[in-house]
Every structure is written in structure tokens, then in C-alpha cells.
């Protein structure tokens, strides 16, 4: 237990529509926000096909499909998105896809204050946060601004049935990372702790099912609900897990995979100093060793388990350790440069 309760609860309010087939309601949800000229944002490839589906439903309510989102929102990608919004005189952004697409929509809203409707199809949780991450060279910049919070989220689990096992697994592990970290940050609140435990319970039981059988509708729904709650608790703050993933992301490593790989190691490092978080995770994961339970889950997933497999250059360990240590994270225990070097070595 925290010796003294002290927190600021600042989780943004949002309208959330959750239903199988909810995508068909995108037009009326746009109308509610007075969006009559929507720019639809997506990633290329499978994301673009989803984007096309949305523009087809919107008809004259859409002024264009901008399917050029890229992970970590590089500066040039943000500028191109902004130009598309201005050129089309869009009065709202409707984004469909994962955290990469949602990131680009947020970058556009950050400059224009246009309202966003998010239709998430992965478990990144970005749709529920006021956080925008962008990259400029080797550094990732994060801003927090209420302008980038999607006004409405439409969750349609049907859209996630075709999410590839690797993306389901990696973005699901990202959601788990949000939940775990939410339990040991200083700024945790009774609401975020409750949401985090509920999300852990759902994703702990359903992510392995959804990864093994993507067409399992109940498991997909469970994971998507968990992703929403995980995103909501991420708004309360972050510590070592997210700082480390953030610095690794700046080096160009894939975001969700990096989260997944370091999570069991960060848990091993932190949980002994966070008995309340440990007890809650033991309950949610039905395991006496939550770090081991997560490591075992990861082992069965079709995604990398080691930093060396995703291109981490060991020679960058000191740089990463220095960047993380500069954050002076103390909850639940000091994240020193030495500690980070050890975590990186164990995860390598």
C-alpha cells in the first residue's frame, strides 16, 4: 500500500461506441460532431483497405483518404498529413487502424484542433490517451495535449478478426504493459487501478485465444475492451517500462515488440518493490509469479522474444541507459543507468 494517498485524476472523457458492426454508425457519429468533410486517415496496405471501407460508408461526408501513416509519426509524415487536411479543407479526422494511424491523426489535430473519431483495430490503446509521440531523427518526442484526444471512439470487434497473429500479440502485449505500469506509478488512482485490473483480467485470459484463433469473436471483444481500458490508464502517467520503450522506439525499434520484449524484465526488476501491484497481477493472471506468466505468454506468441532479434545495437546500451536515467524515475524503485543496462543485457 502507498503510505499516503496522493494523486491527480486526469483521464479524458470520451464518447465510446462499442458493438459488432458499429462501423456502420460512423456517419451519424460524425454528424454528432458536426463533421461534414472528414479526412480519413489510415496506414498503407491492409490499413488502406480499412480506410476505403470507411470512406465508402461516409460517402459525401468524406473528402479524402490519406493512407500514409507510418509508425512513430516521423516529422515528414506528420507534415504530409497536415497538408492533406488543409488541402481538402477537412473539418474532422476519422482514423481507422492501429496506433500508427491514430498517431498521425493526433499529429494533425495537434496543429489544427480538428476533432478526431478513432476506429481502432489493434490493442495499442492510443485512442484513449492525450499523448502524441512523433520522431525527429533518432529521438522520439512526446507531447500531451487535450486537442489530440479523439472525441469519439468506435470499437467494432469485427474489424479485428483479420488482425494478423503477430500484430494481435505485439499490440496486446503493449496493452498489458500499459496495465502493469499503471499499477506501480505514483499517480495511480482508485479508478486507474480498478480499470487496469479489469483490463488485465480480460486480456490475460483472451489474448492467447485471439492470437491462436483470430476469428474468435468473444476473445476479440474482450481484448478490444481491455485495450480501451489500458489506454485510459496510460493517461495517468508512465514510468520505467514506457520510458525505456520510448527511447528504444526513438532508435527505430518497433514499438509494440520492444514493449513486449522488455516487459517481463522490467516486471522482474520492479515488482519486488511494488507488493500491491504484484498482488493485483497475481490475481488477474492467476499466477504466483506475474513476470513469469507474462514471459510464458510471450514465448508462445509468434513475435520476437529478444532485443537482438529486432535489431537493437548493443553498443547503444549506454546511450539508452543514460536517456532513461535522466528521467529520474523513482517509482516503484530508482531506474538507474546500471539497472537499465542490466535489463537491456537480460533482454538482449
Residues that bind ligand NAD (CB under 6 A): 43, 45-47, 71-72, 97-101, 103, 121-122, 124-126, 129, 131-133, 159-160, 162-163, 167, 171, 174, 234, 249, 255-256
Asked if 227 and 125 count as a contact pair (C-beta separation under 8 A), the reply is: yes
CB of 47 to ligand NAD, least distance (A): 3
Rounded to whole angstroms, the Cα distance separating 88 from 39 reads: 8
Nearer to ligand NAD, 97 or 264 (CB): 97
CB of 81 to ligand NAD, least distance (A): 14
Nearer to ligand NAD, 100 or 241 (CB): 100
Specify burial of residue 316 (Cβ count, 10 A radius: 0-12, 13-18, 19+). middle
Secondary structure class of 255 (helix, strand, coil): helix
Nearer to ligand NAD, 153 or 339 (CB): 153
Nearer to ligand NAD, 45 or 59 (CB): 45
**Alpha carbon of residue 217 to chain centroid:** 21
Nearer to ligand NAD, 237 or 290 (CB): 237
SS (H, E, C) 279-290: HHHHHHHCCCCH
CB of 122 to ligand NAD, least distance (A): 3
Q: Count CB-CB contacts under 10 A for residue 307.
A: 25
CB of 174 to ligand NAD, least distance (A): 6
Among residues 40, 121, 111, 126, the alpha carbon closest in space to that of 78 is found at 111
332 cis-preceded (ω within 30 degrees of 0): yes
CB of 273 to ligand NAD, least distance (A): 25
Please give the residue whose beta carbon sits closest to ligand NAD in the complex.
99
CB of 289 to ligand NAD, least distance (A): 26
Residues shown for the chain: 348
Nearer to ligand NAD, 189 or 339 (CB): 189
Amino acid at each position: 500500500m502507498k503510505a499516503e494517498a496522493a494523486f491527480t485524476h486526469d483521464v479524458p472523457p470520451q464518447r465510446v461506441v462499442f458493438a459488432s458492426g458499429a462501423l456502420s454508425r460512423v456517419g451519424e457519429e460524425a454528424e454528432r460532431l458536426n463533421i461534414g468533410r472528414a479526412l480519413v486517415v489510415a496506414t498503407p496496405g491492409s490499413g488502406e483497405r480499412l480506410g476505403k471501407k470507411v470512406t465508402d460508408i461516409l460517402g459525401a461526408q468524406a473528402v479524402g483518404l490519406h493512407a500514409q501513416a507510418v509508425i512513430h509519426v516521423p516529422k515528414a509524415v506528420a507534415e504530409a498529413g497536415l497538408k492533406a487536411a488543409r488541402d481538402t479543407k477537412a473539418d474532422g479526422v476519422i482514423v481507422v487502424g492501429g496506433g500508427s494511424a491514430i498517431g498521425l491523426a493526433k499529429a494533425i489535430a495537434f496543429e489544427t484542433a480538428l476533432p478526431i473519431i478513432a476506429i481502432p483495430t489493434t490493442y495499442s490503446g492510443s485512442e484513449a490517451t492525450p499523448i502524441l509521440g512523433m520522431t525527429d531523427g533518432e529521438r522520439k518526442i512526446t507531447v500531451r495535449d487535450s486537442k489530440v484526444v479523439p472525441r469519439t471512439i468506435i470499437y467494432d470487434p469485427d474489424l479485428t478478426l483479420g488482425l494478423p497473429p503477430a500484430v494481435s500479440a505485439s499490440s496486446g502485449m503493449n496493452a498489458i504493459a500499459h496495465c502493469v505500469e499503471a499499477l506501480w506509478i505514483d499517480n495511480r488512482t482508485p479508478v486507474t487501478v480498478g480499470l487496469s485490473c479489469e483490463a488485465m483480467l480480460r486480456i490475460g485470459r483472451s489474448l492467447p485465444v485471439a492470437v491462436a484463433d483470430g476469428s474468435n469473436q468473444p476473445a476479440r471483444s474482450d481484448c478490444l475492451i481491455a485495450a480501451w481500458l489500458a489506454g485510459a490508464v496510460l493517461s495517468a502517467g508512465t514510468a520505467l517500462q514506457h520510458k525505456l520503450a520510448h527511447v528504444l522506439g526513438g532508435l527505430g525499434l518497433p514499438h509494440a515488440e520492444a514493449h513486449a520484449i522488455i516487459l517481463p524484465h522490467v516486471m522482474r526488476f520492479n515488482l519486488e518493490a511494488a507488493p500491491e501491484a504484484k498482488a493485483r497481477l497475481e490475481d488477474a493472471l492467476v499466477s504466483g509469479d506475474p513476470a513469469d506468466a507474462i514471459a510464458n505468454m510471450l514465448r508462445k506468441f509468434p513475435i520476437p522474444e529478444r532485443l537482438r532479434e529486432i535489431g537493437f545495437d548493443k553498443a547503444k546500451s549506454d546511450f539508452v541507459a543514460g536517456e532513461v536515467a535522466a528521467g529520474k524515475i523513482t517509482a516503484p524503485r530508482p531506474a538507474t543507468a546500471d539497472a537499465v543496462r542490466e535489463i537491456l543485457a537480460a533482454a538482449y
